[in-house]
């Protein structure tokens, strides 16, 4: 059976008890896959496409991925940090070139790459009004690259923004690290973090990935487990 490889940043990575309850989407994606389809999660906190490649984090994927496997590619949060030249990659320049380089690791070995637009951050004004989109031109850069190369794209950015807005300023908090002081050893002073995910958030947004694979059809939908109807899992966008 195929393996699903996942390259990305902190919204993807597998966490341990040192950062509990932070959870990455690659950590829970297996909930949506057939039991005989393993996930090899190569997400790493703080990485952009530029730093991921520079640190040779593609090497373990390239050494193992084979024909018929899948490579999910999700970056953007750190590529947009212009002040950090070790990570910054302009959306319609180096970012697209780096994404193409990563996708080629799969294509050259007969595997299936899937580009994923970056997860939206939670943003609301004090009056509860949804904030502006938080990733600028990066989601569109992914979409255009996918169209140019003929590589499928899952619009996690647009779908997550819709889900966050539907859940509202209070309901969406459970998907991110809004933690009280004194409850978790990793965050003794508490935390209000609208980028990194809780377990509930990782599951909610991994659902978007799974449904995106489902819409792509064969061969992408063949790795998915039997699905329950959305209304039986999520109510008004909140798990």
Gap between the terminal Cα atoms of the chain: 31
Domain holding 32, by residue range, is 4-233
For residue 154, tell me if it sits in a domain.
yes
Size of the chain in residues: 239
Residue 12 domain flag = yes
- In this structure, are residues 79 and 87 in contact, taking their beta carbons and an 8 Å threshold? yes
Q: What are phi and psi of 110, to 5 degrees?
A: 75, 15
Q: What CATH number is attached to the domain comprising 93?
A: 3.40.50.1110
Q: What was the pLDDT predicted at 233? A: 58
pLDDT at 226: 84
DSSP readout, 116-127? EPPPPPP-B-TT
pTM of the complete model: 0.94
Number of folded domains that form the chain: 1
For residue 179, tell me if it sits in a domain. Answer: yes
List the chain pLDDT tens, one digit each, 239 residues: 899 999 999 999 999 999 999 999 999 999 999 999 999 999 999 999 999 999 999 999 999 999 999 999 999 999 999 999 999 999 999 999 999 999 999 999 999 999 999 999 999 999 899 988 899 999 999 999 999 999 999 999 999 999 999 999 999 999 999 999 999 999 999 999 999 999 999 999 999 999 999 999 999 999 999 874 444 555 444 44
C-alpha distances in angstroms, 189 versus 39, 128, 196, 199?
33, 25, 17, 20
pLDDT at residue number 170: 96
Q: Is residue 238 one of the residues assigned to a domain?
A: no
**Active-site residue list:** 10, 192, 196
Residue 234: predicted pLDDT: 56
Within a domain: residue 239?
Answer: no
């Amino acid at each position: 059976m195929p393996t699903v490889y996942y390259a990305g940043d902190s919204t993807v990575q597998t966490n341990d008890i040192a950062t509990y309850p932070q959870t990455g989407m690659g950590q829970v994606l297996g909930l949506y896959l057939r039991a005989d389809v393993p996930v090899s999660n190569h997400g790493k906190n703080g990485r952009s496409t530029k730093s991921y490649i520079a640190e040779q984090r593609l090497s373990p994927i390239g050494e193992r991925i084979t024909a018929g496997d899948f490579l999910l590619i999700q970056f953007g949060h750190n590529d947009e940090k212009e002040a950090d030249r070790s990570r910054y990659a302009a959306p319609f320049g180096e970012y697209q070139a780096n994404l193409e380089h990563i996708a080629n690791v799969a294509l050259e070995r007969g595997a299936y790459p899937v580009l994923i637009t970056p997860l939206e951050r939670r943003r609301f004004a004090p009056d509860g009004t949804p904030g502006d989109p938080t990733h600028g031109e990066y989601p569109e850069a992914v979409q255009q690259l996918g169209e140019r190369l003929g590589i499928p794209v899952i619009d996690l950015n647009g779908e997550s923004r819709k889900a966050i807005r539907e859940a509202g300023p209070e309901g969406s908090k459970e998907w991110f690290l809004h933690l009280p002081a004194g409850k978790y050893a990793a965050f003794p002073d508490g935390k209000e973090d609208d980028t990194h995910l809780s377990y509930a958030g990782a599951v909610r947004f991994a659902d978007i990935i799974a449904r995106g694979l489902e819409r792509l059809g064969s061969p992408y939908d063949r790795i998915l487990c039997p699905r329950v109807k959305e209304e039986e899992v999520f109510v008004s966008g909140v798990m």
